[in-house]
Structures are given as C-alpha cells and as structure tokens.
Amino acid sequence: MHNALLPLITALKKKKALSGVSALLSWDQETYMPEGSIEQRAEQLALIDSISHAHHTSHDFKSAMAEVVDLKTGLPRIDGLTESEKTMVKAVWRDWQKTNALPTAFVEELSKATALGQHQWGIAREQNKFLDFAPHLQKMVELQRKKAVFYNMEGHAYDALIDDYEPGMKMADINPLFDALRDAIIDIRKRIETSKATFVDISESHYDITKQWDFGVDILNEMGFDFKRGRQDKSVHPFTTEFNRNDVRITTRFNPNDLLESFSSTIHEGGHALYEQGLDAYWDGTPLAEAMSLGIHESQSLLWENYVCYSWPFWDGHFNKLKQYFRYEFTGVSAEQFYRTINQVQPSCIRVEADEVTYSLHIMLRYEIEKALISGDLDVAELPTLWNQRMADYVGITPPNDTQGVLQDVHWSYGLFGYFPTYALGNLYGRMLFEQAESEIPDLNGSIRRGEMLALKTWLNDKVHKVGRGTTPSELITHITGKELSVTPFVNYLKEKYGAIYKVKL
C-alpha cells in the first residue's frame, strides 16, 4: 500500500473500531440487555455515535484526507496509486462528505431518538398500540427529512435516503422495476389460487428447539460459516451484525410449532454473515472491506435461503438428515412432499414469514409508504389504514391488528428509511448471481444435494465479497453476468418452480 495512505488508514481503523463498539452495544440491547437499562443504553449509544462523528469530522481526519485527495472533487492528489487505492480513496471521500453534512447535534439527536423509538416500538408491538409508537415515528420521519436536506443532493429527498443503502440507485431506477415485478407477482399469485394442488400437514408437530438449533448449525457449517469468527444467538427480530470481519454475529428466533421459522432466519442471516466474513482482509478498515450495498447484501442472504436451502436439490439430499433430528415428526412424509409443502404460497400478514412469491409485495408496500411519508403526502396517523388497504390489494389479506400490520417491522424505529427497497432488489440481484454461478460451477446443484457448498461460497467470495465497495451494484451485476439488472430471471424462476409445485401454467 502507498505510504502516503497510511495516516488515512490509521484514521479509518479508529472509525471502524468506534463503529464496532456501537454495534456491540446495539447487539447486546437486542439479545441480553435488561429491559430496565434502556435509558442508559440510549445515552451510551448517543455518546459513542457522537464520538465517532466527531472523529470523522475532525481536523486530523480532514488533514489525513487532504494529503491524498482533493477535498472538493474527490480526485487523488498524489501519483503512483493503484486503481484499487484510487477507488478506496474516492469512497472514503464520499463517506466523509456525507458525514460532514450532518451536524454533531443532529447525530446525537438521531441516535437518542433511535434508541428510545426502538424500545417504544417493541412495547407498542407487543401491546398492539400503534398510537403509542406514532409520536416516535413522527419524530423519526421529521429527522429523516432533515437528514435529506443536510445531504443537499439533487432530486427527491427520498433519493438521498436510498443512497445511504443502495449507492447510485434512485426512485427513477426502482419504480419501473417494481412496477413490472408487482404486476407479474400478483398475476402469479392469482393463477396459483386456482390450483387444486394438495400438501401434507406438518404444522401439528412439536419441534424441539434444541434440535432446531442443532440442525441449523449443521447447515451453517456446510455453508462455510466460521464459528471461530462468529456466533449465533436468539433475538425477537433476527439480524446480523459485525464488529469487525473476525467477529460476525447472527441471531435467530424459534417457534416450537414452526420448524421453518428458525431454519429460514438461521440460513438467511448466515448468508449475510458469509458476506462479512468473506471481505478482503488486505483492505481491513477501509471501504474496500465493506459490503457494497444492502441490496447486494440481501442478495447473499436470499441466495442461500431461497435458491439453495429451499430448493429441491437441497431437500432431496438433506431430508434424511432432518429426520435424524426429528425422527417421528415426519413419519410417512417423503422428501418431495416436504419440499412442496414448505414452498407453499400462503399469503401472510408478516413480512418475515412471507412465502417466496409474495415476499416482494410486502417490500413494495413499504417502499410506497416511505416515499409518501418523506414527501409529506401521507400523515403518520393515516398509516395503519393505508397499510391494510395495500395488503388487501397486493397480498390478498387484511391484517387483523397493527401488531401483525404496520407495527411488525423494527426498521422505522431505527430510522432506516430507504432500506426496504433493498430487500426486493436483493431478490433480483441474487437470482442473476445464482444463475451465473450455475453456469460456472460444475454440477452446482449436485454439490448442494450432497451438502458440498464450499464451492459456491468460494465463488461468491471471489466474485462479490472481496470486491467490497470497489464498484456500484449495477456495475457489479453487469460485470459478473454480462446483463443489466432485470426482473425477468427472477420472474421466470418463480413461474418454473411454482408452476411445477402447483401444476398450473404460470
């Protein structure tokens, strides 16, 4: 690495360390923290976040940057940098610009509002009292509007928020993709509803939680999750967090009457974790050792969850392993019957429990609501009514209460506006990546059947993970697949898979 970059690298590693402390406090809040300490935890998080912000906006950090980059243009000021070093410097400059756009007082206010709002969301969700959370949500919407103004980016305020999670992506890019995807999925859903296909019932059994845990860990090991550099715990809302690339933590949740709830969240979060563990150690602490975007991140979790672990090759090879854990629960059930049953299209009120076909409809609903909230076209008080109307229109069901409706997701309490569209984008990215992997890895589905998944992990390490933030998501997809981002591969996949399961023409 060029010697002139070393002061900047040192400053970046301090920033990364502070970020890790904040992540550790948040992870503890979701897993082990006593409920009574929320006020103190909010103060702790606000302090760490303000220290991190102060460091990133400090004279010392600015000086380290000014040695190697023009602070007005982001262009390198020194000769002899490699292309990777130039890319890294430009990404650092971009982050620095956005951080400096936010006043320290605003960062502290946002951090405290996030901690308090998240806590109140949990209570409101449990008690089904949207009105108790509404003032916190209104506060968060106002803060997000302020943040967009501070960023001073061209276009709609919501574009500025999307850019935090999917760099370079705008509503103008997303809208046509989502319009086409929504229409295609609603058509598929309605055609499936005409099918007379039958399925076995596996819902009446009691699935021992310890066995659920052990089976999930078995599959994580097959996927290549490194337990020496990570761990799994329990939480209400499954998530992945990393303090550094050698300490990546996932959480899952369990339902003794639903085997798939823990299995899905374990594999999904495991896919996220493989991305973090697969980042390039050489660039540790810099943007080239950070995930490219949340859409690309979601492509990894959905690829492993849906295209690997909910596939026929997987269960053709793993159903007997599952029966070793649950010997009596699947008596008389074949691997094919199990595969078809777990892939039923059963519209759900809950996003994280949604089937593969209707999942993206949940995202589009949230995307449309976020746009309206940020633009001021929708009042927070109107949110439950609009939510229920869109659920009926898109998914075909109406939530019985706000806990299963507008209160189900933690994201808005955390201020994660612009985050939701990355989930549906992840489906599109993930399908294109998996099909490319199939074309390049000999007998990939045979390897999945046998539980030999390290070849896929290695392919993703090389093609996606080690790139870090070295390019944009759209450029990455085009480079790997030779095609621009499209809904067609994902829609064709749904038609082929679910046409066979339901024996209908899609």
Q: What is the CATH number of the domain that holds 490?
A: 1.10.1370.30
- Domain tally for the chain? 1
Q: Is the pTM of this model over 0.85?
A: yes
Query: For residue range 370-383, what is the model confidence (pLDDT) as tens digits?
Result: 999 999 999 999 99
d(CA 284, CA 295): 21
Whether 199 is covered by a domain: the verdict is: yes
CB of 235 closer than 8 Å to CB of 30? yes
Residue 102, class by beta-carbon neighbours within 10 Å (0-12 exposed, 13-18 middle, 19+ buried)?
Answer: middle
Whether 276 is covered by a domain: the verdict is: yes
Question: pLDDT-based confidence at 384, cuts 50/70/90?
Answer: very high
Helix (H) or strand (E) holding 248: strand 247-252
Write out the two tokens for 339.
């595969």
> What confidence score (pLDDT) does residue 236 get?
81
Whether 94 is covered by a domain: the verdict is: no
Distance between terminal CA atoms of the chain?
54
Rg (CA), the chain: 23
CB of 359 closer than 8 Å to CB of 427? yes
Name residue 255's beta-bridge partners: 258
Residue 334, class by beta-carbon neighbours within 10 Å (0-12 exposed, 13-18 middle, 19+ buried)?
Answer: exposed
Question: pLDDT-based confidence at 228, cuts 50/70/90?
Answer: very high
Average pLDDT over the chain reads 94
Range of the domain at 394: 171-502
d(CA 394, CA 24): 38
Whether 14 is covered by a domain: the verdict is: no
Number of neighbouring beta carbons within 10 Å of residue 277: 20
- Angle formed by the axes of helices 259-277 and 209-223, to 10°? 30
Does residue 262 carry a pLDDT above 90? yes
> What confidence score (pLDDT) does residue 200 get?
94
d(CA 217, CA 34): 27
Residues with Cβ < 8 Å from 23, sequence gap 6 or more? 241, 242, 243
From 30, 242, 269, 305, the catalytic residue? 269
Closest CA to 120 of 418, 371, 412: 412
Residue 417, class by beta-carbon neighbours within 10 Å (0-12 exposed, 13-18 middle, 19+ buried)?
Answer: buried
d(CA 290, CA 284): 8
> What confidence score (pLDDT) does residue 39 get?
87
Write out the two tokens for 187.
């058509």
Name residue 242's beta-bridge partners: 248
Query: For residue range 1-47, what is the model confidence (pLDDT) as tens digits?
Result: 889 999 999 999 999 999 999 999 999 998 989 989 988 998 999 89
171-200 average pLDDT score: 95
Whether 403 is covered by a domain: the verdict is: yes
d(CA 308, CA 315): 9
**Identity of the amino acid at 46:** A
Whether 121 is covered by a domain: the verdict is: no
Whether 209 is covered by a domain: the verdict is: yes
> What confidence score (pLDDT) does residue 444 get?
98
269 is catalytic: yes
d(CA 192, CA 344): 10
Whether 71 is covered by a domain: the verdict is: no
Query: For residue range 292-346, what is the model confidence (pLDDT) as tens digits?
Result: 999 999 999 999 999 999 999 999 999 999 999 998 999 999 999 999 999 999 9
**Identity of the amino acid at 223:** M
Question: pLDDT-based confidence at 394, cuts 50/70/90?
Answer: very high
d(CA 122, CA 413): 9
For Cα atoms 231, 233, 234, give the angle at the middle one, nearest 5 degrees: 165
Does residue 428 carry a pLDDT above 90? yes
Question: pLDDT-based confidence at 267, cuts 50/70/90?
Answer: very high
